[in-house]
Amino acid sequence: MNKTKVLKWKFDVNAFKLLGRELITDRITALVELVKNSYDANASEVFIEFYNVGTANNKNSKIIIRDNGIGMSADDIENKWMVVGTKSKRHTQFSPKPFKRKYIGEKGIGRFAVDKLGSHLLMVTKQEDSNEEQRVEIDWTIYENLAEEQGDQLTLFTEVENSLSVNEQLDKKHGTTLIISKVNEVWSRKDIDRAYKELSKIVSPFHRLKPPFKMFLYSNENEKEFLNKPIVADSIAYEADEFTLGFDKKQKKQETLQFNKKSGDAEIKLVAKPSFGFINVRIFYFNESAKRKFNSTFKKQGKHIDGIKIYRDGILATPFAEYESAAFKQRDVLGIDKRLWQSTYDRIGSREVIGIIDISKERNPQIIDATNRQNFLDNKAFEDLKDFIVHQLDQIGEYKVSKREKKIKNADNKLKEVNTEFKDAVKKLKPIIKKAKENNPLLATQLEQLETKITQTSEAVKTVVKVNQKVKKESARKENLYLSLMSLQEYAANLSHAVRTSLGKIKRLAEFFKDEFPNPKHEKLFLNYSNRIYDEINTLGKVVDFMLSYAKAAIDIEDFSVKAVIENIFNDYYKHVFEVEGIKSQVEIRDDIQLSGNKKFFEDVFENLISNSIKALSETKNKLIKCTGEIKGNKFICYFSDNGNGVNKEDREKIFEIYYTKTAEQGGAGLGLFIVQKRIHAFEGEIIVSESELKKGTTFKIELPFKK
Amino acid sequence: MKFKDIHILIIDDDFASDDPLVIKLKEIYKNVIVRQPKDALLFIEENLSQQMIILLDVNMPHHLDGHQVLEKIRQKTFLIPVIIFTAIQEEEETFADFINNKAAGFISKDASSKDIIKMVNKVALESQSQIDNALEDWIEKQPDEIKTKPYLSSNGKSYSLNELLKEIRLQTELGKRMSGDITKLTIDLLSRNKNNK
């Protein structure tokens, strides 16, 4: 016999605890959840008000949350609000136009948060096009009491009755007000402070919300501070560095960032009015920890650290309007990420900044959306604007590098300090222990143990310092090795070509001797050829030395004379090359200093500069390479010049970028000057392009600091 | 074998004009000329009526490289044999254009004079059988007045034997038609001979 019976779940009245109290862990979260519901309801304003909550069991205690959102109809209340776990929000991700907010409320449980705040709720809600105002009352004490009293007879959660009343209300006002009374817990000023802080996280301080979402906090017991105080997000709380740029209409100047090497800051500088007109700029830079902080708060809301966007008269310009979640699909309208691959690690990319560029129709008429809406019209003004933005990022990039270096230095110094302090302490302690031992032989064993412990710890500290230094050296070595490998690759082709050519010559010359000697017909040739064999073997030897110097380049650190190295390169290594190329070289190193470091890397500098000059000189008639050096103050200053093609003013900084080359036709790979600059930096020096001293061509100025 | 009519042109940016290779080649060939790329191209243009074999270096910094030079030569004519004379081992891809441009051979920069000359001789031998060179051999045997006299006219223009040879070497429309006709005729004659036997 088969009998079927339908079974259904039932909820005990205790379920209300489960929903509210257990899921929403504390009252501040509860408050935030309720305000988030206002956000999801497209409110542009929400008032959070505390009345008489500073003392316990105050009859008149109340918390009111009042918004001007879309409100609810009777049907909404009955079929959505009163249904546990409704997910009307889940059908779409975004709220209706023009708000298009990404829903942030927890799915269908926010309303139970009320229970966490107070035992009684009066909800008043009205929609814009309705004349009815809905009032719902829920008394959580009834549930509570039922739960407590429960004997044999079960009361179900869904059987408790709550009342809904409808009032006529003719004005246009709309929104929802939650009046929570019988407040459970005391809210001190500090608690309200905390609430303020948490509420301020609802809206990202870095993104512009249009229409806005304004929050105000009121507390009748703290009117001095919380008299409808606007809740504003604090960007500092996220540790982002903020850079704000404006303009001076009177002076006709635009502000721009300029990295200052001395201060290590990106400072504000005034420049002439740009071709694209005046703009306001706010850029937030996030380092790794700031990024983490930001993401933990805002990722859920769909807010990302997503680069720089242009707003025209406060509204996002159309080329940025389409939301693209996959980072790699995002269009790089401003050309920010394109430049990343040009350099190694020091550049700032879209994933590290949020930026707001404010333009207006009136001030910047030249910045025009392209007809395809995917970009801006590609005119001079937009080109300049892009350059301007990239310039700001590059300055911030330098700031980032300098900050990182400072941090490393600080950590270093701290370690060293700890080490010295510890040593001092041990020194002072030892005689004391000795004395104590003499005075109190009973303590001797214990003191001895202490002594060993101290010695051990002291050793440990020393090891830490050593390890740290080793790690630092190791990473510097790796970087250098990497760079020398890159240059090695560049040279390998040339070198093997040189070796083979040289070998071929020698082989044929020797072959001639073998076959023809002592044929009197060729007597003159024999003499000529024997000289050539000798010269060729010399050249070959140098090429091989040069290759070998690479093989062992990476680790050696030695003291070397700058003068000797430079003269050696010009007068030995490159003598032959200069002859072949028809280049006159002029070397005048008046002073000499000793540098400590990798000699090969110092040679790299001049080898790369020379190879660069040879390319630049290919079309010059009276080819000249000149190198002078002298001491000025505590710096060794070296000028390296050629009278070749020269470098445009605007390219002077670019030429040090990796893969940037103007001599691709002559086999330039854009590595040479990049290596030069990195090598010079490794010696804590600086290299710049200065005014040409030969009227035509390029002059590099190299500064190397040294200790007297 | 008339190697004595052939010029050897070495295109290289760094090659001594009295290198043993030059001395040795001179013993076999009419003349050996060493030129940098630009001058070499000029020389080729001015001496298209001459028989010529080229040894071409590839890596010539600050000059046109071997690839570009061969391309330029091939824009003028496909009839001059070019031997690639290089110190680098190129990847297949970059070699492809040498093959497309009909390089006659490859030899390493560190080869001995003997090996290089062997290669040049082989190429010279092959080129002897080319129509233009065969024709040149035949023209050589003609009396001087016939060499310069109008021999054939096409489209209202008349050509001497020497001029016809130039048309073939430059591979003009007329030159191509001529060499095609000569080949057909040769095959025809050969087959007739066979049939007669």
- Does position B156 have pLDDT exceeding 60, yes or no? yes
CATH class of A238-403: alpha beta
A509 contacts B109? CB cut-off 8 A: no
User: E strand or H helix at A525, and its extent?
Assistant: helix A523-551
Query: Each residue of A1-18: pLDDT tens digit?
Result: 578 888 888 887 777 777
- B112 and B18 in one domain? yes
Of the candidate ranges A289-303, A427-441, A658-672, the one whose mean pLDDT is the lowest: A658-672
Instruction: Determine phi and psi for B74, rounding to 5 degrees.
Output: -70, -20
- Chains A and B form CB pairs within 8 A to the count of 56
* Range with the largest mean pLDDT of A216-220, A233-237, A326-330: A216-220
Query: Each residue of A447-477: pLDDT tens digit?
Result: 777 777 777 777 777 777 777 777 776 666 5
B108 contacts A511? CB cut-off 8 A: no
Contacts of A49 (CB under 8 A, 6+ apart): A62, A63, A64, A65, A66, A217, A218, A219, A220
- B23 and B115 in one domain? yes
Instruction: Determine phi and psi for B141, rounding to 5 degrees.
Output: -75, -15
- pTM: predicted TM-score of the whole model, two decimal places: 0.44
Chain B nearest-CA residue for A615: B62
Give the model's pLDDT for residue A151: 64
Q: Are A208 and A284 within 8 A, CB to CB? A: no
Query: Each residue of A549-594: pLDDT tens digit?
Result: 555 555 567 788 999 999 999 988 888 889 888 999 999 998 888 8
Shortest alpha-carbon distance between residue B103 and chain A (Å): 21
- B162 and B118 in one domain? no
Average pLDDT over residues A672-700: 84
Chain B nearest-CA residue for A509: B20
B114 contacts A504? CB cut-off 8 A: no
Query: Each residue of A38-78: pLDDT tens digit?
Result: 988 899 999 999 999 988 888 899 999 999 999 999 888 88
Give the model's pLDDT for residue B197: 47
Q: Are A307 and A336 within 8 A, CB to CB? A: yes
Shortest alpha-carbon distance between residue B22 and chain A (Å): 10
Domain that holds residue B37: 3-128
Token readout for B87 is 């110190």
Give the model's pLDDT for residue A487: 52
A508 contacts B20? CB cut-off 8 A: yes
- CATH number of this structure's domain A556-705: 3.30.565.10
Residues 253-272 (A) with a CB less than 8 A from some CB of B: none
- Does position A132 have pLDDT exceeding 70, yes or no? yes
CATH of A15-233, picked from 2.160.10.10, 3.30.565.10, 3.30.830.10, 3.30.700.30, is 3.30.565.10
Token readout for A441 is 């032989």
- B93 and B40 in one domain? yes
Of the candidates A501, A503, A666, the beta carbon closest to that of B62 is on A666
* Interfacial residues of B (vs A; Cβ cutoff 8 Å): 14, 16, 18-21, 23-24, 59, 61-62, 87-88, 108-114
Query: Each residue of B62-103: pLDDT tens digit?
Result: 678 888 899 999 888 888 999 999 877 655 556 777 887 888
d(CA A699, CA A689) in angstroms, rounded, equals 6
Give the model's pLDDT for residue A254: 95
- Does position B31 have pLDDT exceeding 70, yes or no? yes
Of the candidates A500, A532, A580, the beta carbon closest to that of B14 is on A580
Q: What is the DSSP string of A135-175?
A: EEEEEHHHHHHHHHH--SS--BGGG---EEEEEE--SS--E
Q: Are A594 and A669 within 8 A, CB to CB? A: no
- Does position A91 have pLDDT exceeding 80, yes or no? no
Select from B85, B109, B20 the least CA-distant residue to A509: B20
Query: Each residue of A366-378: pLDDT tens digit?
Result: 988 776 666 788 8
- B143 and B124 in one domain? no
Q: Are B107 and B83 within 8 A, CB to CB? A: yes
What is the band of A263 on the pLDDT scale with cuts at 50, 70, 90? confident
Q: Are B13 and A582 within 8 A, CB to CB? A: no
d(CA A702, CA A699) in angstroms, rounded, equals 10
CATH code, domain carrying B49:
3.40.50.2300
- Per CB-CB distance under 8 Å, the chain A contacts of B16 are 505, 532
Number of compact structural domains in chain B: 2
Average pLDDT over residues B37-63: 87
Looking only at the bridges linking them, the beta strands covering B6-11 and A594-597 are unpaired
- B49 and B143 in one domain? no
Percent of chain B with pLDDT over 90: 29
Query: Each residue of A589-611: pLDDT tens digit?
Result: 988 888 877 788 788 899 889 98
Of the candidate ranges A19-28, A169-178, A526-535, A655-664, the one whose mean pLDDT is the lowest: A655-664
Compute the CA torsion angle A607, A612, A614, A618 (nearest 10 deg).
170
DSSP-derived 3-state class of residue A445: helix
- B184 and B95 in one domain? no
* A15-233 and A556-705 share one fold: yes
ipTM of the complex: 0.70
Query: Each residue of A499-508: pLDDT tens digit?
Result: 788 888 888 9
Instruction: Determine phi and psi for A533, rounding to 5 degrees.
Output: -60, -45
Task: Write down the domain spans for chain A.
Answer: 15-233, 238-403, 466-550, 556-705
Select from A670, A677, A675, A660 the least CA-distant residue to A481: A675
- Does position A510 have pLDDT exceeding 60, yes or no? yes
Give the model's pLDDT for residue B188: 81
Give the model's pLDDT for residue A22: 66
Of the candidates B21, B59, B88, the beta carbon closest to that of A508 is on B21
For chain B, the three-class secondary structure string (H helix, E strand, C coil) is CCHHHEEEEEECCCCCCCCHHHHHHHHHCCEEEEECHHHHHHHHHHCCCCEEEEEECCCCCCCCCHHHHHHHHHHHCCCCCEEEEECCCCCHHHHHHHHHCCCCEEEECCCCHHHHHHHHHHHHHHHHCCHHHHHHHHHHHCCHHHHHCEEEEECCEEEEHHHHHHHHHHCCHHHHHHHHHHHHHHHHHHHHHHHHC
Q: Is A512 on the interface with B (CB under 8 A)?
A: yes
What is the band of A20 on the pLDDT scale with cuts at 50, 70, 90? low
Query: Each residue of B99-124: pLDDT tens digit?
Result: 878 888 889 888 899 999 999 999 99
- Per CB-CB distance under 8 Å, the chain B contacts of A666 are 61-62
Is B73 exposed, middle or buried, given 0-12, 13-18 or 19+ CB atoms closer than 10 A?
buried
- Does position B1 have pLDDT exceeding 70, yes or no? no
Query: Each residue of A332-384: pLDDT tens digit?
Result: 778 777 665 444 456 787 788 888 888 888 899 998 877 666 678 888 899 89
Residues 446-505 (A) with a CB less than 8 A from some CB of B: 493, 496-497, 500-501, 503-505
- Does position A654 have pLDDT exceeding 80, yes or no? no
User: E strand or H helix at A579, and its extent?
Assistant: helix A575-581
Q: Are A76 and A111 within 8 A, CB to CB? A: no
